[in-house]
Amino acid sequence: MNELIESRRCFNGEQRRYRHRANTLSCDMQVSVYLPDQAKSQPLPAVYWLSGLTCNDRNFVEKAGAQRIASELGLILIVPDTSPRGEGVADADSDSLGQGAGFYVNATEQPWRAHYQMERYVTDELVQWSADTLPVNDKRAIAGHSMGGHGALTLALKHPHLYTSASAFSPISHPTECPWGQAALSAYLGEDPQLWLQHDACVLLQSKRSHIPMRVDQGLADPFLTEQLNPQALEKAAQVHQAPLAMHYHDGFDHSYFFVASFIETQLRFHHHYLR
């Protein structure tokens, strides 16, 4: 099943929403897609956007204002949901676990493993779905916010052959050492902290020999800065291992989509440089 359920004119392009059957997740998934008009005449590169805790595929496309610059640069924006959803999909009474909080990992523990295979979905099935459904070429980048920033960085570091570049707003940089990350990783992967390390950007920067260009934007008025995000650990890991990470701190900005909207043009231009 693959269904176009919504389409609206937006700048010089079209904002769409699809519903498709995700075999890796054993449920239907919704994906928002922005198609610039250039896609009518040629395949275009894509930027995959991963959203944060409690979000779905709509938050970014309705709040970030990314379509204007994507239409100028000729970039397709592909925005999946943050987790599997639907009847029979496990959930929890927590913002950091369950539906809306897939953390972009492949769960191994019950009751999550039947549906919560978000790493496989994003890096395998969604890439294939995009190639089958959309006028994309073989160049793609990945970006995200908060939990999605964690996903963008870790998936890029684990699958560098898939992406030309990666970026993040306010990412959960060191999830093995913060409450959000520890709660999710222990539930999805089990209680052995060694199993969590392959989903921690700071650890991956230390263990990977090759890296793709990365950019991180972090607001200094973010209420989660110290307890949950720890960008300094990411910056230190990149410096020690000479990874190509550009870290940008911004006075006065918080964790909201007002921050994302303020710098999304900068991030998309960063990706466009490598996607060309």
Please provide the DSSP assignment of 158-171 as one string.
Answer: H-TTT-S-EEEES-
C-alpha–C-alpha distance, residues 48 and 12, integer Å: 19
Q: Which two tokens stand for residue 272?
A: 């466009």
Catalytic residue among 146, 165, 170, 173: 146
| Phi (first) and psi of residue 24, to 5 degrees | -65, -30
C-alpha–C-alpha distance, residues 149 and 161, integer Å: 19
Any catalytic annotation for residue 222?
A: yes
Catalytic residue among 81, 200, 217, 222: 222
Residues 6+ apart with CB under 8 A from 101: 53, 54, 82, 83, 92, 94, 95, 147, 184
Q: Contact 127/78 with Cβ under 8 angstroms? A: no
Please provide the DSSP assignment of 235-268 as one string.
Answer: HHHHHHTT--EEEEEETT--SSHHHHHHHHHHHH
Any catalytic annotation for residue 93?
A: no
Q: Which two tokens stand for residue 227?
A: 């307890």
DSSP state of 191: S
C-alpha–C-alpha distance, residues 175 and 149, integer Å: 11
Q: Contact 16/6 with Cβ under 8 angstroms? A: yes
Any catalytic annotation for residue 241?
A: no
Catalytic residue among 115, 150, 211, 255: 255
Tell me how far the alpha carbon of residue 82 is from its chain's centroid: 8
Q: Which residues pair with 79 in a beta bridge?
A: 32
Task: Give me the active site residues, please.
Answer: 146, 222, 255
